[in-house]
């Protein structure tokens, strides 16, 4: 358990001045943008909040990683670090507890697929689906203004429907989507199956559904109808073209585990990791499972509230919709003065503003749980790091809890130092505007080094 008696660092000395940064911060949009040359593999399926490949390359270069090194991303999401490491011929390992993101990162690292077979069989599935829809009086190539009342459209069951935002997808596109999905699932033993699923998920979210990301997920303009099969084939062709870029070439191994980042040592070999490049959740009110909720439900990965609850229990507690009775990660920071001060300030602010909902009452608790969970992660991580291992954590300042400022990078740096890590510096990645307050918040990269002395 983490124990501290005072803040042990002068963070002014750690935070680099903007003029000293190697990170591209000349425009926040560009800093986080997926550049055209980076679209292969990365663009198969990607979180709207993902950090960009160029940031990973920067720290691969900064850490002087080579083909003998192993990179870990314990919060790998949709695989940005892992894909970039593989493209740079560096071995990599990822952990991800969100099943949709785990599927995506696994697929994006599987390049042992014949691209010609992938697209040829996809056309077979598409043609079969078109025939099924045609027999129902639906032409997927025609844009319909109204749905026919004569056809009984396929829908999600009642419990599954409650898991997604109301209006996430319109009735006719949903029907066509479910018909296509069934045809894909009829080929679930095919080596290409998961690649078709990721193409399906990407088309579903960004082209077929009514979802809008800004960056919060919400429902935008309702689409009465969309060409579902055309959009899916477009995604399959994109994957096909990317696979052709690497056909016949040799790349290093990359593994992904469906696992909780607080339980690393039970999965990975001691002294096996040379570097960590990652971005954990931030302490805010973003329910990260909402970002992937539509595809998780339609793919049948999550069917009930109970299954959603079990998923969330494997995640760092970063929002009040994901904390449960029995959570005790806060014990890891019970004696950390600054974290306790912030939690107390949030609770005082809540009382002053007379905020009394169940979520608002949990703001202070989730703040302690978040940093406790990260302390638990960093503690367990030490056993699998090689002496001299270097780490980069992309994190962001937050003021989601009643506008009480949380300097995430500074607090994690202090936690890491008490666990025996050396804090190298904190780089500014970009600034971003807070949704509620419109204030500019820092998004940073906390750079650490593991000297090889386990103080646990």
The residues with which 396 forms a beta bridge, in sequence order, are: 443
Which residue, chain included where needed, has tokens 């490491």? 85
Bridge pairing between strands 254-257 and 91-95: parallel
Q: Map out the domains of the chain as residue ranges.
A: 1-31+280-284+321-456, 115-246
Residue 327 has a pLDDT of 95
Residue 334 has a pLDDT of 96
Q: Mark 159-168 as b/e (b = at least 16 C-beta within 10 Å).
A: ebeebbeeeb
Residue 148 has a pLDDT of 52
pLDDT tens digits for the chain (456 residues)?
A: 554 444 333 333 333 333 334 444 334 445 557 788 889 999 999 987 788 999 999 999 999 999 999 999 999 999 999 999 999 999 999 999 999 999 999 999 999 999 999 999 999 999 999 999 999 999 998 755 454 556 789 999 999 999 999 999 999 999 999 999 999 999 999 999 999 999 999 999 999 999 998 767 889 999 999 999 999 999 999 999 999 999 999 999 899 999 999 999 999 999 999 999 999 999 988 888 888 999 999 999 999 999 999 999 999 999 999 999 999 999 999 999 999 999 999 999 999 999 989 899 999 999 999 999 999 999 999 999 999 999 999 999 998 898 899 999 999 999 999 999 999 999 999 887 666 566 789 999 999 999 986 544
How is 203-214 classified by DSSP, letter by letter?
HIIIIIS-EEES
Residue 437 has a pLDDT of 62
CB count, 10 Å around CB of 108?
26
The separation between CA 247 and the C-alpha centre of its own chain, rounded to angstroms, equals: 28
Closest by Cα among 218, 119, 208 to 170: 208
Residue 432 has a pLDDT of 78
Cis geometry, peptide bond prior to residue 215 (ω within 30 degrees of 0): yes
The separation between CA 350 and the C-alpha centre of its own chain, rounded to angstroms, equals: 30
Roughly what angle, to the nearest 10 degrees, separates helices 80-87 and 99-108?
A: 10
Q: How far apart are CA 375 and CA 315, in angstroms?
A: 14
Give the global pTM. Answer: 0.90
């Amino acid at each position: 358990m983490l124990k501290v008696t005072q803040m042990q660092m002068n963070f002014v000395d750690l935070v680099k001045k903007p003029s000293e940064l190697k990170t591209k911060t000349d425009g926040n949009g560009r800093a986080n943008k997926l550049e055209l040359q980076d679209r292969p593999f990365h663009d198969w399926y990607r979180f709207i909040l993902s950090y960009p490949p160029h940031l990973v390359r920067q720290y691969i270069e900064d850490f002087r990683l080579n083909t003998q090194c192993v990179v870990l991303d314990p919060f790998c999401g949709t695989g940005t670090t892992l894909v970039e490491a593989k493209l740079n011929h560096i071995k990599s390992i990822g952990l991800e507890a969100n099943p949709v993101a785990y599927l995506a990162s696994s697929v994006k690292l599987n390049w042992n697929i014949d691209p010609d077979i992938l697209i040829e069989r996809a056309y077979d599935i598409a043609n079969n689906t078109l025939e099924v829809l045609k027999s129902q009086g639906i032409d997927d190539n025609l844009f319909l203004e109204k749905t026919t009342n004569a056809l009984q459209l396929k829908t999600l069951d009642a419990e599954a429907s409650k898991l997604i935002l109301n209006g996430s997808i319109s009735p006719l596109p949903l029907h066509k989507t479910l018909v296509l999905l069934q045809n894909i699932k009829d080929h679930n033993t095919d080596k290409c199956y998961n690649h078709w699923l990721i193409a399906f998920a990407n088309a579903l979210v960004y082209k077929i559904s009514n979802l809008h990301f800004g960056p919060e997920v919400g429902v935008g303009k309702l689409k009465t109808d969309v060409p579902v099969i055309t959009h899916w084939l477009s995604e399959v062709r994109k994957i096909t073209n990317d696979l052709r870029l690497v056909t016949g070439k040799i790349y290093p191994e990359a593994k992904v585990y469906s696992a909780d980042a607080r339980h690393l040592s039970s999965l990975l070999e001691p002294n096996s990791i040379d570097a960590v490049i990652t971005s954990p959740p931030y302490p805010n009110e973003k329910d990260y499972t909402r970002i992937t909720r539509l595809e998780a439900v339609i793919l049948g990965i999550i069917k009930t509230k109970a299954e959603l609850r079990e998923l969330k229990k494997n995640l760092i507690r970063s929002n009040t919709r994901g904390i449960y009775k029995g959570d005790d990660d806060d014990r890891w920071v019970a004696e950390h003065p600054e974290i306790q001060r912030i939690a107390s300030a949030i609770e005082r602010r809540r009382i002053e503003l007379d905020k009394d909902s169940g979520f608002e009452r949990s703001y202070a608790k989730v703040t302690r749980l978040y940093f406790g969970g990260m302390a638990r992660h960093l503690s367990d991580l030490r056993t699998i790091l090689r002496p001299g291992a270097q780490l980069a954590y992309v994190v962001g300042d937050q003021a989601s809890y009643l506008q009480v400022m949380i300097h995430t990078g500074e607090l994690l740096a202090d936690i890491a130092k008490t666990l025996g890590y050396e804090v190298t510096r904190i780089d500014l990645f970009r600034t971003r505007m807070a949704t509620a307050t419109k204030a500019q918040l820092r998004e940073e990269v906390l750079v650490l080094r593991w000297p090889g002395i386990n103080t646990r």
